[in-house]
Amino acid sequence: MIEVKGLRKSFGDNEVLKGVDLTIEKGDVVVILGPSGSGKTTILRCINFLEKASEGTMVFDGETFDLSSMNRKDIHRLRMKTAFVFQNYNLFANMTVLRNVEIGLTAARGMGKAEAEEIALRMLEKVGLSDKRDAYPSQLSGGQQQRVAIARALASSPEVIYFDEPTSALDPELIGEVLAVMRDLADEGMTMVVVTHEMNFARNISNKVLFLEDGNVIESAPTKQFFEAPSSERAKAFVRMITADRTVREDNKQKEI
């Protein structure tokens, strides 16, 4: 469905992405892993045109685009098929929860008020927040705001949703509710690309892993293979480290009990 080839991005002299390839099939849940500063977020921002790539092509539904010279019309057309969930939620602070979810339908897609509201309410129900429809973002917890952001993303029935570290800004006890919503989406077959540090999510929900370091793809493999038999030394070390970390945490838990 989406095929990105040779994606490069520099900020001044600093080359953040050094030729990234990425293939997303319908129904995929692709997780992008890697240490901080490896360029994970920049990939998402480039393929949704929040940053302009320095080089690279993208095939989207059979159409080929040059990522470094997209015109405004194509950008708009592709954005209508995708959705983005931000680390900091980025809800519209001057609008109620309901308005946040339906504005992409009414203003951007010209849908009638009644129909848009019906869809928005259905999406809010899906993320378990129908009772907050008239609240403003500032009255919600971080986890609730992120769930509204996911409802907003879902409302336009996108072909793919990009998640940029959706739980990184949340208090630990709020992470679970957001991950649960994302798990439901994956179960329903939603195509998702997720930048995350949540290893359990990566391991249990995703079907593909892209492991990134220093702007290079070190390993791109099915999830099971990545965690059980990574081929590169760097990926091996990474998996070892996170599993070790998990064992330590589980040990601590045992001790507490």
Partner 1 sequence: MSRFWMILIEAFPQILLQGIKVTLPLTAVSFFFALIISVIVAMIQYADIPVLKQICRFYIWLIRGTPLLVQLYVIFYGLPSVGIYLDAWPAAIFVLSFNEGAYMAETVRGALESIPVGQVEAGQCVGLSYLQIMWHIVLPQAFKVAFPSLSNSLIGLLKETSLATTITITEMIRQAQIINSKHYETLGLYCEVAIIYLAFCTILTWIQRAAEKRLNRVGGRTEND
Q: Which residues bind partner 1 (CB under 8 A)?
A: 48-50, 76, 79-80, 82-84, 86, 88, 90-95, 103-104, 107-109, 136-139, 149, 152, 156
Q: Which residues pair with 212 in a beta bridge?
A: 217
Using the minimum distance from each CB to partner 1, give the nearer residue, 161 or 205: 161
Using the minimum distance from each CB to partner 1, give the nearer residue, 42 or 48: 48
Q: Least distance from C-beta 138 to partner 1, angstroms? A: 4
Q: Least distance from C-beta 142 to partner 1, angstroms? A: 11
Q: Least distance from C-beta 99 to partner 1, angstroms? A: 9
Q: Least distance from C-beta 250 to partner 1, angstroms? A: 34
Q: Least distance from C-beta 108 to partner 1, angstroms? A: 4
Using the minimum distance from each CB to partner 1, give the nearer residue, 162 or 201: 162
The answer to whether residues 180 and 150 touch, using CB atoms and an 8 Å cutoff, is no
Using the minimum distance from each CB to partner 1, give the nearer residue, 42 or 223: 42
Separation CA 46–CA 206 (nearest Å): 21
- For CA atoms 117, 122, 124, 129, the dihedral sign is positive
Cβ-in-10-Å burial (0-12, 13-18, 19+) of 42 comes to buried
Output the CA–CA distances (angstroms, integers) from residue 75 to 93, 175, 215, in the order listed: 25, 32, 24
Angle (nearest 5°) at CA 186 between 29 and 66: 40
48: nearest Cα among 168, 145, 178, 159 = 159
Using the minimum distance from each CB to partner 1, give the nearer residue, 139 or 252: 139
Helix residue ranges per DSSP H, 80-139: 97-106, 113-126
